[in-house]
Amino acid sequence: MKAIKSDPIEVPMLTDDRFDRIEQFDELVKPVQQFMLKHYSPHSKIIIECNGATITTDEMFIPLKVGD
């Protein structure tokens, strides 16, 4: 088996500005987390998009290996 060479992928760095937004996001989601713990099962998720939010329940999830 031969290794395939590829160009490195650029990963954006976590700047101070982005770190500040992470702290704001953390404060924002705490009440949502409390709501989820009170009203839904541990298998539920909230997907928040710019035009709405969806609550889904994944009762079965099987992680699969990628790249075999």
Model confidence at 1: pLDDT above 70 = no
pLDDT in tens, 6-59: 677 776 666 667 777 888 888 999 999 999 999 998 889 999 999 999 999 877
Model confidence at 2: pLDDT above 70 = no
Tell me the whole-structure pTM to 2 decimals: 0.54
| Integer Cα distance of 43 and 53 in angstroms | 17
Ramachandran region, residue 57 (left: φ > 0; alpha: ψ -120 to 50; beta: rest) = beta
Q: Taking Cα atoms as reference points, which of 61, 23, 66 lies closest to residue 43? A: 61
Residue 32 near residue 46 (C-beta atoms within 8 A): yes
| Integer Cα distance of 10 and 68 in angstroms | 23
